[in-house]
Chains A and B, each alone.
Chain A
């Protein structure tokens, strides 16, 4: 009998979501730069907390003239820095495959495309969120015990809203990373994605707040960074913020919107 085609040995192996997820984990794990970035982030979160406590001998108020920063703000110095690093990590993760051309390989392997985006998001959250939680709580514990050693007023996890603010920080950092990842998917270009996340999402609202008339404040409160600011501290830093719960919901809303936009673009556009 004439054999028309030699069939593949692997026809029985079908693409499925768990397999795509595994593929994205392999991709993430196998890039050395990801591990270096994560190690630096953990070091920054804990290191700056310890440093701020040690330096408090010279600056008991934690800031310049007339400025007063609570010990909570001071132990979160590194976490604020982590916001920048993780935003960049997310932006790179979203745009990198477009720059290298790898995206074509990914889409020929997974022609439905969306499993690739969602696997990236899950990989990102699964890897980054636990690390952020551990290092933020470690930074808090280490920093506060040092402040205590130097005889300054300290906060405890059991104090009102402290643990909420710590979880809030981890949620905010990972959330901005997700915004970076989706914006990177949308721009398909690393530098512009980083520019939009750091310039547009993180700095522009503060700039607008300073420039626009006060009547605009109500609207600015709903921007991602201001919504995030609503749940990052045990006591609100400003009166021009949403309530912590509403802030968290609004921030989550931005993330959902960004994921929706990235999904639509990934499905529709030529790769």
Chain B
């Protein structure tokens, strides 16, 4: 038993244990990857810890998939190293039971059935029928397991990819865009799956470009842009630090209210028609101002920033591929 004052704080104890044993689950050290002149990953360091869902966020081309491929030993880094539970991935004796991964739904040969795909993957370590049927059932594709994967929808392919990741009951799950192509049911299912996985003390590392989904699933965030780590912090801290609250007002007298607001510190940041979005002012101040001037308000809301707001603010300068359409 650990001393009671430590066991009282499980998180602290876990961190102490990790530091003491040197066992971060995923460890990325000074990692750089160049493709010719292009720097995909630029000297990044981070660790992923057990017991929580760590989100890996970044715009397209930020280096997320490259980093994941290097962790799996698929790509060779230009400099730096990555470790899984203190070992190089290529030295793992039973790699799939340590780290289950989903890179793209494409990492499946479409000429084969789902069952045979899993049988081929499982055979490399001796996993057979019983476990295969278990994961097919778990991801909900047991009824189509004998069909060719070429007949699969994007959502079914994604489920097969997740079944492959879960096949050897891994201690760590690393998923690249796992909710791609899943229906709302599927998204809820994977969210719960990842959370319960983390609650068992296992490790989850996932990338997603769907901010709202990430906000609901991840506890911790690593943000990457143009190959560099921009933030490595808890979800709550990231949002509160990076973006401000704003106030939304809906009123039929929006013109009159806007004029009155010019004499305050408020800054109009958006809205059209009856709607105004404001910064630098509280909902209470607007309410008072409206009452003094007999303006009818239909709605007055404090809008908390979303992960998306925070993310956009942070990565504005680090988006590799800007759109050139409308402003």
Whether a CB of chain B sits under 8 angstroms from the CB of A15 is yes
CB within 8 Å of A: which of B122-150? 123-127, 131
A-B contact pairs, 20 of them (CB 8 A): A2-B13, A4-B18, A6-B171, A6-B200, A8-B94, A13-B127, A15-B94, A19-B125, A19-B126, A20-B123, A23-B124, A27-B109, A30-B116, A31-B109, A31-B111, A104-B72, A109-B95, A112-B90, A268-B76, A270-B75
Contact B2 A1 (CB under 8 A): yes
User: DSSP majority for the B interface?
Assistant: loop
CB distance from A103 to the nearest CB of B (A): 8
A104 (CB) vs chain B CBs: closest residue: B107
Whether a CB of chain B sits under 8 angstroms from the CB of A189 is no
Whether a CB of chain B sits under 8 angstroms from the CB of A14 is yes
A97-B109, A100-B110 known; A3 and B201 CB under 8 Å?
A: yes
Q: A105: which of B69, B92, B164 is its contact (CB, 8 Å)? A: B164
B contact residues around A30 at 8 Å (CB): 112-113, 116, 119-120
Q: A111: which of B13, B73, B76, B200 is its contact (CB, 8 Å)? A: B73
CB distance from B21 to the nearest CB of A (A): 9
Q: A270: which of B2, B17, B69, B103 is its contact (CB, 8 Å)? A: B69
Whether a CB of chain A sits under 8 angstroms from the CB of B50 is yes
B86-109 vs A, CB cutoff 8 Å, 1 = contact: the mask equals 000111111111110101101111
Whether a CB of chain B sits under 8 angstroms from the CB of A210 is no
Contact A8 B104 (CB under 8 A): no
CB distance from A93 to the nearest CB of B (A): 11
CB distance from A109 to the nearest CB of B (A): 4
Contact B111 A111 (CB under 8 A): no
A6 to B96, CA, bound (A): 15
A270-B69, A270-B76 known; A13 and B111 CB under 8 Å?
A: no
A contact residues around B119 at 8 Å (CB): 26, 30
CB distance from B62 to the nearest CB of A (A): 18
Whether a CB of chain B sits under 8 angstroms from the CB of A22 is yes
A11-47 vs B, CB cutoff 8 Å, 1 = contact: the mask equals 1111100011011101100111100000000000000
Q: B120: which of A1, A13, A27, A33 is its contact (CB, 8 Å)? A: A27
A11 to B100, CA, bound (A): 12
Contact A5 B50 (CB under 8 A): yes
Q: A14: which of B111, B116, B125 is its contact (CB, 8 Å)? A: B125
A104-B74, A108-B95, A271-B75 known; A4 and B108 CB under 8 Å?
A: no
Whether a CB of chain A sits under 8 angstroms from the CB of B7 is yes
A32 to B171, CA, bound (A): 35
Shortest 5 CB-CB contacts between residues of A and residues of B: A30-B116, A23-B123, A101-B106, A8-B97, A270-B75
Contacts A4-B201, A31-B109 known; list 8 others, CB within 8 Å: A15-B94, A23-B124, A27-B120, A101-B106, A101-B108, A107-B72, A111-B92, A270-B75
A248 to B52, CA, bound (A): 61
Whether a CB of chain A sits under 8 angstroms from the CB of B232 is no
A96 to B7, CA, bound (A): 53
Q: B50: which of A4, A8, A11 is its contact (CB, 8 Å)? A: A4
A7-B171, A23-B123, A105-B164 known; A31 and B112 CB under 8 Å?
A: yes
Contact A102 B96 (CB under 8 A): no
A contact residues around B127 at 8 Å (CB): 10, 13
B169-199 vs A, CB cutoff 8 Å, 1 = contact: the mask equals 1110000000000000000000000000000
